[in-house]
Amino acid sequence: MRKRIVTLLLAAGIAVAASVQAHEISKRQTTIVGELVDTGCYLGHSGQGAKHVGCATMCIKGGMPMGVLTRQGTLYLITMNHDNPDFYNKLKGMAGKNVAITGPVFTRSGMKAIEVSSFKTSKVG
């Protein structure tokens, strides 16, 4: 019986350590460069670029989620850093602009996201 308890405790300890390690790895800072788009118009009818800035700005101000569309065509959902929402809120006025967003990148159920820790405007390149 003691052997089982020790084995269970070891297994639980390994699971907790693996969970903590996975969390730390997922917080690694990455920079994604691309156009800031509103996800609704982009996914619905490929709304992007200079002609779509007015609409995207309205949609984002109305609560539509933002995304960063890379030159390779990958769309990342932009999520807010709960400890510091300032950069996320400042991005709301950047529709149609090229930005370099830095933060941890996550993938779950096929969806890619970046939690914005900082950003700057970027040249296409």
* Residue 2 confidence (pLDDT): 53
Pick the residue with more confidence: 83 or 125? 83
* Residue 122 confidence (pLDDT): 83
pLDDT, tens digit, 9 for 90 and up, residues 15-73: 444 444 444 445 789 999 999 999 999 999 999 999 999 999 999 999 999 999 999 99
List phi, psi (to 5°) of 97: -90, 155
* Residue 71 confidence (pLDDT): 95
What is the DSSP code string of 94-112? -TTSEEEEEEEEEEETTEE
* Residue 93 confidence (pLDDT): 94
94 Cβ contact partners less than 8 Å away, ≥ 6 residues apart: 36, 119, 121
pLDDT, tens digit, 9 for 90 and up, residues 64-107: 999 999 999 999 999 999 999 999 999 999 999 999 999 999 99
Q: How far is the first Cα of the chain from the last one, in angstroms, to the nearest whole number?
A: 64
The CA-based angle 59-31-105, given to 5 degrees, is 75
pTM above 0.85, yes or no: no
CATH class of the domain whose range is 28-121:
mainly beta
Q: Is the pLDDT of residue 13 over 70?
A: no
Taking Cα atoms as reference points, which of 120, 30, 44, 121 lies closest to residue 76?
Answer: 30
* Residue 15 confidence (pLDDT): 47
